[in-house]
Chain A
Amino acid sequence: MTEHETGSAAPAAADPAPAGARQWLREHSELGVAVVLLALGGLVVVDALSMSTSFAQRGPVGPRVVPLAVGGLLIAIAVALTVDVLRGGKGEAEGGEDVDLTIPPEWRTVLLLAASFIANIALIDLVGFPISGAILFWGSAYALGSRHWVRDPVIAVVLSVSAYLLFQKLLGVPLPGGPLEGI
């Protein structure tokens, strides 16, 4: 399940009727959105309240007012959304050209994509963009079901190296070069 669903699914295990409760939570997984909104709202409010406003206030409205309003809005919407979901309201999942909503979501694909993404984050400053970018592309293509053992890595490396050269040399936007540094 998604990360926001696991959060609300955890207490289900302690429930006396786990199967029924799990079913109920699955149908009301949108409550996870309300949890996210509530958490975000709480964070904004706490941050605003912990701000010291004694110094440098210019004008009648200090730096805390708008964050408090936004935090309050988030919390209010979290409540309203909870009510809406419990009354049977449902957000419509977004369709699209390549989206097939009739099949159940494939979390494996999403996790593998996130893993490729995180690999790029972890490696980019260590081994440079040409290598980490190629890993990102190949990993993502693999996650999405491409299994060409020669074509995939070749495309990944060519794309990564040419993107590096394009940005570094032609456009003057610096990227960490790794082994290509200084060429």
Chain B
Amino acid sequence: MDTLSNLIEGFATALTPTHLLLAALGVLLGTAIGVLPGIGPAMAVALLLPLTYSMEPTGAFIMFAGIYYGGMFGGSTTSILLNTPGETAAVVTAIEGHPMARKGRGSQALAAAAIGHFVGGIIGTTLLVLLAPMVAKMAVNIGAPDFFAIMLLAFIAVTSVLGSSRIRGFASLAIGLAIGLVGLDPMTGQARLTFGSLHLADGIDVVVVAVGLFAVGEALWVAAHLRRTTGKPIPVGRAWLSRADLSRSWRPWLRGPVIGFPFGAVPAGGAEIPTFLSYVTEKRLSKHRAEFGHGAIEGVAGPESTASASAAGTLTAMLTLGLPTTATAAVMLAAFQQYGIQPGPLLFQRESQLVWALIASLFVGTVLLLVLNLPMAPLWSKLLRIPRAYLYAGILFFASVGAYAVSGDVLDLVLLLVIGLLGFMMRRFGLPVLPAIIGVILGPNAEQQLRRALQISDGNLSGLVNTTFSVTVYAIIAVILLWPLIGKAITRTRTRTPESVR
């Protein structure tokens, strides 16, 4: 019952007028920015970070939670009305959502998405409430070698599970790790890669890296290939559902979180895989299988609920273990560090009030999202018509404001441009961005855990594998690394034909 009283206390904090206003502001800003083409939730959070520099942490995180959920929802609107998903989580939604909109059922698709988000968000957040304190309690007892193993797992998973090329994933990760090295070594105070600059001695601010990679890199990349003929969004009215639609949607809504939550919590790329799994499941279970591909409402309802629940799963891993599993979570983790708060098992003890207010505000945000978005769908769809020149000029503008506001130093703007060009190169040559940002954020942390573990064992490498937990994690890492070989072996024994060259 400890959890319940904590949660009630959290609601007491989250429902104060100021915090309620911040949550609503976050949801609105998040949705608006998520709807804007080309801006996913990670960039939304990164660009909006500077707004909270002068806020107290609780208010800031309540707003962020709203931005995160709002941004996830906003992406689906673009998917449905424009057939151009802004972020990976909404790719699947476009498959059925856009045909629905073309058939004049855009309002129903938006409603199925909005309610799906609501259901997925409520169930996902409830699971977070039930599981997070347990995970945190268990994780309190794990030590430096275990943390190092988990972080190594995050590095390996994020580079291996996603994307088509492992080498390119690792290249991205290594770039991120190198950026993370800049600054004074936290244990000895030795300057590393600072080239005598006092500003670099503090390290490169994670906000600058995130904004550079996500916002500046993306804007430059899009500018080089700007589509001259932009698709016309399909106009819609107020979002609503008929009884027949409802009876087809409620099961997918409820099934979504079962798939979404666990996938969100593991470092396997957030919502991309579970939304696809949900789509496949709904297709298999549906009585209207022939409709799939031509606008089946189940194909919107299921994946949207899944995406929303996976966001809750992501937050569970981020809050309890300090482990960001998606780009958005990585940026939020950076925001926590901005306030000198380190998410992890101790967070629930040290910052109990903040965490529970944040969790309560997730419920509040989910409700606000539904209340605001059902009637506002037509307005959001108007945002899709913004001239692209202003949109990307605006992204560069706000990226600069944000980077400069970090410490009021022009050098940050120079770094922003350099990292932005790096982000451009990565997009051009198929290096995924997520491993880089995970490397920047987790790299320094992983180094510290490694050195602490080896300090305890007096330099003996066995100190890294002296717990069951760490051995288990290393076993998982080995399986992931060897998976292509295992997979090959399986297919070889099955088909007994020589493997074809890709």
Contact = CB atoms under 8 A, between A and B. Distances in A.
A97 B224 contact: no
Contact of B425 (A4, A44, A118): A4
A99 B38 CA distance: 9
B119 to A, nearest CB: 27
B434 to A, nearest CB: 12
A118 B413 CA distance: 9
A182 interface: no
B407 to A, nearest CB: 10
Nearest to B39: A97
B389 interface: yes
Given A40-B178, A70-B181, A81-B167, A61 B401 contact: no
B388 A98 contact: yes
Contacts of B424: 2, 110
Interface in A101-154: 101, 103, 105-107, 109-110, 113-114, 116-118, 120-121, 124-125, 129, 133, 136-138, 140-141, 143-146
A51 interface: yes
Contact of B429 (A77, A91, A103, A136): A91
A28 to B, nearest CB: 11
Interface in B418-435: 420-421, 424-425, 427-431
B37 A159 contact: no
A44 B178 contact: yes
Given A77-B170, A93-B430, A173-B54, A56 B188 contact: yes
A164 to B, nearest CB: 9
Nearest to A172: B54
B389 A100 contact: no
Interface in A26-83: 30, 32-33, 36-37, 40-41, 43-44, 47-48, 51, 53, 56-63, 66-67, 70-71, 73-74, 77, 80-81
Contacts of A51: 190-192
Nearest to B86: A97
Interface of A is mostly: helix
A144 B85 CA distance: 22
Contacts of B188: 56-58, 62-63
B104 to A, nearest CB: 23
B413 A167 contact: no
Interface of B: 37-38, 50-51, 53-54, 78, 82, 84-86, 164-165, 167-168, 170-171, 174-175, 177-178, 181, 185, 187-193, 216, 218-228, 230, 387-390, 392-394, 396-398, 400-401, 404-405, 408, 410, 413-414, 417, 420-421, 424-425, 427-431, 443, 447, 450-452, 454-455, 458-459
Question: 7 tightest CB-CB pairs across the interface, nearest first?
Answer: A91-B430, A60-B459, A59-B455, A140-B393, A146-B389, A144-B389, A97-B84
